[in-house]
């Protein structure tokens, strides 16, 4: 099961009661991980009227709801059927999944659900701009890997992880800058990905 | 506050305990409202490899989570910042909001959040295919209203609801059929909306 990024990061902040291991979400104490970088970047694109790309809400399976006050009392995380991000840029359909890895050598493809990989393939086949954004956190390197190059890799390799050498050769590196923080649209444009 | 369709429809099925007014969600007892029609239609489009258009998950603000078992113990419905549906069709970015009304005479624009209307305008300006799908449930009539025609209406009218006459004149009628149930892509194609 995959949890939304904001939560996993908050795991340290526990607020145990006598009965359970419930963790109270602290929305103010987030670090600047890949998801945050993308959120501020997408906000910047919207503010400047450059692109309208959003992170989709995390799918939740509702079980018990109190309608009087709009309170959800029991629910579970659901499997996402698509990627986390999509939107529009200059009339083009943009669709991607973003992942971090602590590995120094390769990105494990098992980190992405198989139906998400299938989804990216569908988008690519229907002429959307489909890609992964992969960050090697300990190397401080972030890459765009176009769906075409991902498909090529999977066709030619039995390996279940993409070596950093392949990312450096085929991927488009995205540099962290002041504004927008992670200018992936510029990286796509500069490298002919769009 | 807007609740997801599935829930509002289940309001009748109460499962009260001594302490609260919690309603247990029954996922099997759904009728065929507009949302269901769109879900089966979008599934059909995907199965036939025609288009990849999805309903976005309902945004939820998490408060308490038990990570051990992935259970959400307290959460609230959040405001959607975009429309409910988006995706790709023949390389084009598709984006729409779908609403039902019981009115016999007009569709109240107040049924759509102002930021959703703004979102559709942004998508239209960036050359996406943006529209509303409006169903008059008691008249059994379902229309596509293109964003351009919606903007024209709002520019020329101070009225806060769109009369059925305008929908019949400017909208594209979508007929219910066997498969796909609500073929809105065909209605768009036939009328030059795409």
Mean pLDDT for B163-181 is: 97
Residue B14: pLDDT band with limits 50, 70, 90: very low
Q: Which of residues 118-137 of A touch B (CB under 8 A)?
A: 119, 122-123, 125-128
SS3 content of chain B, % helix, strand, coil (to 5): 30, 30, 40
Binary contact (A54, B82; C-beta < 8 A): yes
Q: Residues B71, B43: contact at Cβ < 8 Å?
A: no
A63 touches chain B (CB under 8 A): yes
Residue B50 CB: number of other CB atoms within 10 A?
17
Nearest residue to A82 via CA among A108, A62, A54: A54
The pLDDT value recorded for residue A99 is 97
Q: What is the DSSP string of B41-92?
A: HHHHHHHTTS-EEEEPPPPEEEEEEETTTTEEEEEEE---SS-SEEEEETTE
Mean pLDDT for A90-114 is: 96
All residues at 6 or more sequence positions from B89 whose CB lies less than 8 Å from its CB, including other chains: A126, B45, B50, B51, B52, B53, B129, B185, B194
Residue B17, pLDDT above cutoff 80: no
Lowest mean pLDDT among A48-57, A75-84, B94-103, B126-135: A75-84
The pLDDT value recorded for residue A81 is 87
Angle at alpha carbon of residue B51, lines to B39 and A120, rounded to 5° = 105
The pLDDT value recorded for residue A27 is 61
Question: Which among B59, B72, B89 has the least Cβ separation from residue A75?
Answer: B72
Q: Residues B80, B59: contact at Cβ < 8 Å?
A: yes
Lowest mean pLDDT among A12-16, A37-41, A118-122, B122-126: A12-16
Query: Across all residues in chain B, what is the average pLDDT?
Result: 89
Mean pLDDT for B64-90 is: 94
Phi first, then psi: give them for residue A83, nearest 5 degrees. -75, 175
Q: Is the ipTM of this complex over 0.90?
A: no
């Amino acid at each position: 099961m995959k949890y939304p990024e904001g939560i996993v990061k908050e795991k340290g902040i526990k607020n145990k009661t006598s009965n359970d291991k419930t963790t109270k979400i602290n929305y103010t104490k987030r670090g600047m991980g890949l998801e945050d970088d993308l959120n501020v970047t997408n906000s910047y694109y919207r503010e400047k009227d450059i692109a309208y790309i959003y992170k989709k809400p995390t799918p939740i399976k509702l079980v018990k709801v109190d309608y009087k006050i709009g309170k959800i009392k029991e629910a579970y995380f659901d499997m996402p059927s698509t990627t986390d991000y999509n939107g529009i840029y200059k009339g083009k359909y943009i669709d991607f999944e973003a992942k971090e890895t602590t590995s120094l050598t390769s990105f494990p493809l098992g980190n992405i659900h198989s139906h998400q990989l299938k989804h990216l393939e569908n988008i690519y086949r229907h002429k959307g701009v489909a890609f992964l954004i992969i960050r090697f956190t300990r190397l401080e390197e972030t890459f765009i890997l176009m769906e075409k190059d991902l498909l090529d890799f999977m066709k030619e390799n039995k390996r279940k992880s993409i070596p950093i050498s392949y990312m450096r050769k085929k991927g488009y590196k995205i540099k962290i800058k002041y504004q927008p923080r992670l200018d992936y649209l510029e990286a796509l444009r500069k490298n002919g990905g769009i």
